Structure 1
Amino acid sequence: MTGPARAAQAAVIALDVGGTAIKGALETRDGVVHRRIDLPTPVADGVGAVLAAVVTAAEELRPAPGDLLTARGAGLIFPGVVDSSAGVARFSANIGWRDLPIRRLVSERVGVPVAIDHDVRAAGLAEARLGTGRGVDEFLFLAIGTGIAGAVVTRGSVVAGASCTAGELGHLPVHPSGDRCACGQLGCTEAYASAAALPRRYLAQGGAGPVRAEDVIARAGRGDRIAQRVLDEAIVALGRALVIYTLVMDPALVVIGGGLARAGAALTEPLRDEVERGLAFRPAPRIVISDLGSDAGRRGAALVAWKALDEHA
């Protein structure tokens, strides 16, 4: 005689869609990852191809018949201007989405409820719940990669802002008459301190290539004067942005994530010094590297899905 059938455990599909890769996972409420996937993002093939790749990733993560897991929903995160409440990708330059009702399109194809959010805000949520920001009510998660963006965490919650663009520290004009940024403004933080800016500025000033951002930082540590100048200028830009943020929002902590976080102390130590120099009458917040690393977005996407399911229970 067989025993009673075991009930399937609820899980969510987590999808972190970037301009280069789609990172996915099937995750249960207890945070256990049961399946993981990484696929290239076919940006060059157009909007439809990217949408199809997202659906393919979701289908590959869905529990197979007979698994003791069931997909209750999905969390989908991506860069750009994300209208979470409307379920619309307002503008995502890296992916090619504009005013795309992405929540409805993916939900119809995958057959589960879908929640969407900004990738950095979702990563900030993961830091607040699971990572370096646990127990800290007021902090900033700053992702420094190809671009620069922040997740504003206040009273323990991630803030989107009136137009869903809170945390755009990459476009603070820290040098008002400086280099032109891709956004059209002059002197943005991102134009000096992103992982794309470091090699571009190094080569423009006479450095030898090919080179990546981490190479510029390593060469600075070995005494390359051009690399050191480019890194110093990046630290000044980041420091000014963080001084402004600190004076406005008064965070206890700044958590650095994104690809440039791999530089570790070579980034955080001079950055702490720069922020301290810019704050004459008050102490600087602690500046640390993310505990979750490159997985912060994927973990955040799962949290976005669970949060939406709880709200609609």
Structure 2
Amino acid sequence: MPDRQTAVASPKPPTRSPVRRRRKGSMWRRGWLIAFLAVLSALPLLFHRWVPNSIGNLGSLLDTFLPWVGLAVPILAVAALVRRSATAGVALLLPTIVWGLMFGNLLIPGKGGGAYDLRVLSHNVDAANPDPQKTAQDLLQADADVMALEEITAADMKIYKAAFAEEYPYEVSRDTVALWSKFPVEESKSVDVGFKWTRALRAEVSTPEGKVAVYVAHLASVRVGASGFTSDQRNDTIKALGRQIADEKLAGVVVMGDFNGTATDRSLAPLTAGLRSAQGAAGYGFGFTWPAKFPMARIDHIMVRGVTPTKAWVMGDTGSDHRPVIAELRI
């Protein structure tokens, strides 16, 4: 009797779970609102120069706090993870890349370096400073060769002069701005930036490596009120100082002070044209200086021409509403 052949059923190919397939597809279908907000957050970065100043100086206000627009990225990234949205994740690449191209160079470690010839410091010491003696002692710890101070009252000037007399034999002051130097100051003069009182000066500092023109300036403040972000007076002082620096004959130029504006503010262009930011060239991070308790903007600057920044940083809180900025320069 012939053997019966037992029919062996061929195995069925594995089938994907419809639930899993739907879940995978939904990763691309969900989170469109987050994706839209991600693209929207890139627009101020891409087109901030197109925002006009004609209405409340909104353009300059956006320029001032532009790096903070990037905060939208981690916030939306968390939302995208919660929603498990692949669409939102891809959309977030746009503001991430744009922000990185604009500000990523500030976060690159190891810039600058090498020997330096001159260490400079600038600080708005605050007219309402409750303890200028402590501020003076903090500044002495920086061991700068040249110090520029702004917003000094007549009473506080006596305190700073007494505190710095031993370490800094050369001093130049004009109303609310002053300069102290370990190296000889061969000549100095007031710089007219359009105020009734002097808020800027120029000094020729004779370093062992040669003369350097040092400008100390406290530009007009900006105001935020019902009419918006007003900066007309500050912009006039920027133009006035910028014209004089452009005409400077010495090759080495250092411009320090409280500019009441960030390097990204378009209104500072008449002053910063041809100058190099020490922080941008040789510092790490944004170097925010104001307000001192929680710095959100860098409005205190050290700008140079004809010298090379090798290091730049921001000091801690000294009791002022600003933080001091320091740079080491090779002449």
| Higher-Rg member (1/2) | 2
Q: TM-score, structure 1 length as denominator?
A: 0.31
TM-score (norm 2): 0.29
